[in-house]
Amino acid sequence: DIVMTQTPLSSPVTLGQPASISCKSSQSLVHRDGNTYLSWLQQRPGQPPRLLIYKISYRVSGVPDRFSGSGAGTDFTLKISRVEAEDVGVYYCMQATQFPLTFGGGTKVEIK
């Protein structure tokens, strides 16, 4: 199985300041079809996960442009340019390049 490792576990951020989450995979996520199936999910308290970004950097319709994804191969990053109160929650990376699908352990974003 591909192991997904996220850091940090927790990210206390001041409102309006940026936040960055790292996700590293135990092997390359480049699929033989040329795509990299790395997505980011947001889970607000008491809610199911919500898809934010797919294939590294494609933002889902309706997701604010303060969210951006980047990376390649085994190293990926989710950035929030200016954290707002509604961004509080746990963020997960997920790989779908190889089955079984696997998730990172999650990063909690909270307001200082």
Residues near another protein (CB under 8 A) are 35, 37, 39, 41, 48-51, 54-55, 60, 90, 92, 94, 96-97, 99-103, 105-106
Q: Which amino acid is at 82?
A: R
13 pairs with which residues across the strands?
Answer: 111
Closest separation between CB of residue 24 and another protein, Å? 17
Q: Of 33 and 65, which has the nearer Cβ to another protein?
A: 33
- Which residue shows structure tokens 């960055």? 20
Closest separation between CB of residue 16 and another protein, Å? 27
In sequence order, which ranges of the chain are alpha helices (DSSP H)?
none
- Which residue shows structure tokens 């079984």? 100
